[in-house]
Structure 1
Amino acid sequence: MTLPRITLRDAAVVLALLAAMAAEALWFPFHDAPLTWASWVLVVGTALPALVRRTHPGIALAASAAILLPLTNLCPVIHTGPFAAMLAGYWLARTRGTRVAVTAGVLLVPWVVFLMSRGGVDKLLTLDLPKNLAFIALPIVLGLAARYRSQSVQALVERAEEAERGREQEALRRVGEERLRIARDVHDVVSHSMVAIIVQAGVGSHLMDADPATARQTLLDIRRISAETLTDLRGILGLLREEDGEAAVEPTTTLAGLADLASTLQATGLELDLQVDVGDEPLSTTVDVTAYRIVQEALTNVLRHAPGSATRVRIVRIRDTLSVEVEDQGGQASGAVPDGTGNGLRGLRERVRAIGGQLDAGPRPEGGWLVRARLPIAASVHHAPALAQERA
């Protein structure tokens, strides 16, 4: 059996519970009950199950609820004693879902009624009964609410990623169709013109001595056909440079799309401060795409690991370098905190390295996470492999 992984946060929660119960026992004892060594053993035993509340919430809840029986007999702690069980109930609802949480709550009701009846049946007719039953319901409701929120945020992230993939695939499909159309046009124009030129050149070479006037006209026809072909090719290839053409050949994931990305993520509750100052001179496509990808990956990680965290995105041109910074303040993590070795950050490092830049990612001393990149403005066609990988 794998031992549960206990973190400093778990230990801190246990210490907080011990402090609360010790304060009640020392300063607000129930009916001035005496404190013995057994009382302190029970206090410690009541708090210890909180160590595994996240990894084994069912065991933690059962142990915390069971120890309430001797606790109410031997220790003057009745107000803070149920806190460990409440925390375990919260994590049981958050990690195991509605069915398990409701079942556990129903099973706890007779146990709470039994514990209260030991102080006299009349106590069941007071407001203490609904108050103690609320101690069961409240953690379960809060845990289920946190679970549903986490699932909602995850669904929004997945839909945003799926929509992004769909836009890229649609753009690639349209680019492919446009390339095929242009290839057909180029083939038709060039093949027809080259055949005509070859035939005219053959006729002219035979008539050069016998009929110089006809040979001269043949050369003029070759010149005209060449000029017309060049005009047609310029018109066809000019479509590749049109900004408002029917098919976009530039990647759709550039800094121009940050506003749409920010709107989507802010709908999930993310507090986003977006600051972009890249100057008037346009960026190369490679740098533009790379900067967008850095921001997109960093914000996605914030949603996964610190939903609702205040986040700042700052993109600024500093002489010949584009600085990209994404930092969040941290928050209640919905999953494991990233260690910077995931596939997303690894892919970003490879992408930044391919254009001669540098990327650093890691936790901030004051909490949260920071992703910082420095991209050379001069990165362009010399780093075409990175752009080709993006389009693929």
Structure 2
Amino acid sequence: MSRAAAPWKRVPTPVVDVLMVAVAAVDVWLNMWEHTRLGVALAAVGCIALAFRRRFPLGVFLLTLPIALMQDVALAVLVALFTLAERSRNRRLLAVCVALSAVAGSTPWPLAEADRTMTLVIFVYSLATAAAPVLFGQFLQAQRDLARRLDEIEEAREHERALHAQAVLARERAQLAREMHDVVSHQVSLIAVRAGALQVATRDANTKEAARTIRSLSVTTLDELRTMVTLLRASGGRATELTPQPTLADLHKLVESSGTHAELTGELPAAVGTPAQRAIYRTVQEALTNVRKHAPGAVACVELWQDGDDVGVTVTNAAPTRPSLSLPGSQQGLIGLRERADILHGTLESGPTAEGGYRVRLRIPLGAD
């Protein structure tokens, strides 16, 4: 359809206007009843006015009306009506212009008495003739509006697809950032703690230097991980992980390999959903990691509990028994835990205890999914 219309669109507008004026003038010259000076002058004005029909459609139509008095079907009037209908959205104005064209076409010229029946027939004929270009012009206008609307819909869809792709990417980045912090940082910090302990305990110079190097590299890696997690979180969003992760069945192994003096107590019902199990696991993992980093030698207690329709875990550690190592903190752990809790319509509370320790408490609805 667009290829068929392309050649017409390549014709310059002035050329089209000149041809339209010429064709209208030939039509008037061949079909006008009487070539009086007044009639020729009015016809000439109406034909020349067609060159300005795009800018002044209503005025050009009014200038072509006298031509309808002097011939049966005036091409200039029909062209002016079509242009007006193609550009105007005023239906009442178009109806009035059709009526005026029909009246002009059915009025005898020169003015004289005429058969009323014949005048009525001519009026109906003129009315139908004038309505045709108006309907066609309105059709083209509606077609353009529809094409414009389809373009807008397509643009909206493209924008929606782009937003969806960005949202998916943001969720993936947020998930990656959270897993990097929860899993990778957990393992690297454990390596740093063990290397630091070995550096203090060993008397062999080579072993001490190797332990110092391992601890230094681990600290540097934690710094880089912190930067990466911060960048991923800045471009990501709050989202729920969809990838299967450790569950409550892995808690015993986590507590035993945490590198702290920790004890796991309590049980949870089997009805706890997988997302809630992951949130509990990550909470325990983060809390024990913080105990290793900030409370060396402290005893920790991991308590699983159920309170009515809620389940949760409380991780409490005592005061540290020795100075902590200067390991970097990402400041993202508790933020990630709170995000998990919010997603599952739960709460996370954390803060120091009166005895100098620290407590992290997660509460999640039993049916959270």
- Normalising by structure 2, report the TM-score: 0.47
Pick the structure with greater CA Rg. Answer: 2
- Normalising by structure 1, report the TM-score: 0.45
